[in-house]
Structure 1
Amino acid sequence: MGSLLHPPIPCDSGIPDYRGPGGLWRRDPEAEKLVTYEYYMRDPEIRRRSWQMRRKNRALRAEPNAAHRAIVDLERSGVPVRVITQNVDGLHQLAGLPARKVLELHGSARQFICTKCHARGPMEDALARLDAGEDDPPCLECGGILKSATVMFGQRLDPVVLAEAVAITKACQLFFAVGSSLQVQPAAGLAGIAADHGARLTVINAEPTPYDEIADEVVREPIGTALPRLLGSLGGHDGDQGDQGDQGD
């Protein structure tokens, strides 16, 4: 088995970075409030601004890139693959990776969820209501507050999804940490869990991470070229190479 961690994969698809040197949170700290659960739930103006941010979100218009396709190619070659991702863009599935092989630790921006009755639906449906004139569309089932089906600051990760990610990580033979700062817990800790359980750990990231010292290999090349090269070398191996997973933040 193995795992990959990566936000530069979405960055290569035109989705902005959030915590990097030029990331959104560093340029506009107030923007964090738009994705902070406490502010979102208590302040209608924050919700209205947050919905406008979703309306302009490039993640829903992005397309998979060479790195996403390299993972799909590896899976189709017969190597068991699992993706554990902090990304919420759904690009792995759009690239052709079966949804059952993708664990979205931070949820999906492609769906909305009601905070009261937990009804879900396509984000496009909620955005269509904004186009029709609503600025803070309530749940059509119960009138509750709607939000993106992503984990906001101040919310816990889904314990079932996290437990499955830990189980996959403990069993893997290869773990690729791709484009992740490896600073956001508990997801970042998966790299350490993989190494502790005997997996070969490869960190692919432009900046140093807290796990570089225990990695078997550290790669500073661009994700779009490094990942296809590294995964391409695995395609000729048999299924015992195990699962591949990925994360990003």
Structure 2
Amino acid sequence: MIAKDIQSGVERLGEMIAAASIIVPFTGAGISTECGIPDFRSPGGLWTRNRPIPFDEFVASQEARDESWRRRFAMEATFAAAKPGRGHRALASLYRAGKIPAVITQNIDNLHQQSGFAPDRVIELHGNTTYARCIGCGRAYDLGWVKQRFDDSGAPDCTDCGEPVKTATISFGQAMPEDAMERASELSRSCDLLIAIGSSLVVWPAAGFPMMAKSAGARLVIINREPTDQDDLADLVIRHDIGDTLGPFVGN
């Protein structure tokens, strides 16, 4: 059912939230756009201006690694200034109320953690851009450490094993994190309401989780300005601003 207006959509969503015991949010870029984080895929998004650098290219080329880090540091002020929006805060309120055990996210901006979710309750399918990791041994690095070395001599290597250091995100061609995928699958199969928020639902395998939840008997709500391929599966579709839609659910 597509909500005819935002008021009726919010009312129906409220009824579904009240009736649910286990709610799992599945969030995409749209929940963070009001926070100043630009979308990647939409017209005018980052990937329309800069071709994504695939993982194998990052590994093989110092030039590609330098360009990857140049782009990341060019975005530093944007990421640093971003604060959780109404959507993040509403989900955090439901998390504190015991309705949400964890959030599944395609986002890399750390805003769910900032909103009040415990870090181990944020299942990051595509990683996190607020720190770095060695692609070999997995050692974590602070971005300040990377920036100092990048300014001196370009993209750095790990001080332990010598392999390249990369933002702790998942690039095209890079293996999805097994633990996160397994936990997301378990949550999707065990919830009785999954709310997909601000995701185009076109990036696989992540886009499969709403379908997985629906197949396991959960109700499915999709909140997204644009239509998605899974709208026909949903029990409720709200095509309105995410902050306006979820704002009423922000607790005190």
Q: Same fold (TM over 0.5)?
A: yes
TM class by smaller structure: 0.7 to 0.9
Structure 2 residue 93 is the aligned partner of structure 1 residue 73: yes
Instruction: Specify which structure has the bigger relative contact order, considering alpha-carbon pairs within 8 angstroms and separated by 6 or more residues.
Output: 1
1:170–1:193 CA contact under 8 A, matched in 2: yes
Structure 2 residue 73 is the aligned partner of structure 1 residue 90: no
Q: Distance in 2 between matches of 1:67 and 1:125?
A: 32
Q: Which residue of 2 aligns with 1:227?
A: 246
Structure 2 residue 66 is the aligned partner of structure 1 residue 48: yes
Q: How far apart are residue 124 of structure 1 and its match?
A: 2.9
Question: Given residue 99 of structure 1, which amino acid in structure 2 is its aligned partner?
Answer: P
Choose which of 29, 34, 37 in structure 2 pairs with 1:7: 29
Q: Which residue of 2 aligns with 1:17?
A: 39
Q: Which residue of 1 aligns with 2:179?
A: 160
CA offsets, 1:164-222, max 9 Å, x none? 10001100011110000001111101010111111111101111111000100111111
Q: How far apart are residue 140 of structure 1 and its match?
A: 1.6
CA offsets, 1:133-178, max 9 Å, x none? 2321121222221111111100121112101100011000111100
CA offsets, 1:15-45, max 9 Å, x none? 11111122222344xx212xx1011111111
1:109–1:123 CA contact under 8 A, matched in 2: no
Q: How far apart are residue 126 of structure 1 and its match?
A: 1.3
SS at match of 1:3: strand
Q: How far apart are residue 129 of structure 1 and its match?
A: 2.7
Choose which of 81, 84, 91 in structure 2 pairs with 1:61: 81
Superposed counterparts of 1:174-189, under 5 Å: 174-189=193-208
2:90–2:247 CA contact under 8 A, matched in 1: yes
Q: Distance in 2 between matches of 1:70 and 1:153?
A: 31
2:41–2:47 CA contact under 8 A, matched in 1: yes
Count of matched residue positions in the alignment of Structure 1 and Structure 2? 227
Question: Given residue 221 of structure 1, which amino acid in structure 2 is its aligned partner?
Answer: H
Choose which of 146, 154, 173 in structure 2 pairs with 1:126: 146
Where does structure 2 lack aligned partners over 5 or more consecutive residues?
1-21
SS at match of 2:23: coil
Q: How far apart are residue 228 of structure 1 and its match?
A: 2.7
CA offsets, 1:52-83, max 9 Å, x none? 11112222432111111111112222323310
User: What percentage of aligned pairs have identical amino acids?
Assistant: 38
Structure 2 residue 215 is the aligned partner of structure 1 residue 196: yes
Structure 2 residue 121 is the aligned partner of structure 1 residue 101: yes
Superposed counterparts of 1:198-217, under 5 Å: 198-217=217-236
Choose which of 176, 189, 199 in structure 2 pairs with 1:170: 189
Calculate the TM-score normalised by the size of structure 2: 0.85
1:17–1:24 CA contact under 8 A, matched in 2: yes
Q: Distance in 2 between matches of 1:27 and 1:100?
A: 34
2:146–2:155 CA contact under 8 A, matched in 1: no
1:37–1:155 CA contact under 8 A, matched in 2: yes
Q: Distance in 2 between matches of 1:17 and 1:101?
A: 24
Calculate the TM-score normalised by the size of structure 1: 0.86
2:135–2:163 CA contact under 8 A, matched in 1: yes
Runs of 4 or more, structure 1, over 6 Å off, are none
Q: Which residue of 1 aligns with 2:13?
A: none
Where does structure 1 lack aligned partners over 5 or more consecutive residues?
236-249
Q: Which residue of 1 aligns with 2:158?
A: 139
The CA RMSD measured in Å over matched residues stands at: 1.6
Q: How far apart are residue 128 of structure 1 and its match?
A: 3.3
Q: Distance in 1 between matches of 2:121 and 2:103?
A: 6
Q: Distance in 1 between matches of 2:191 and 2:128?
A: 25
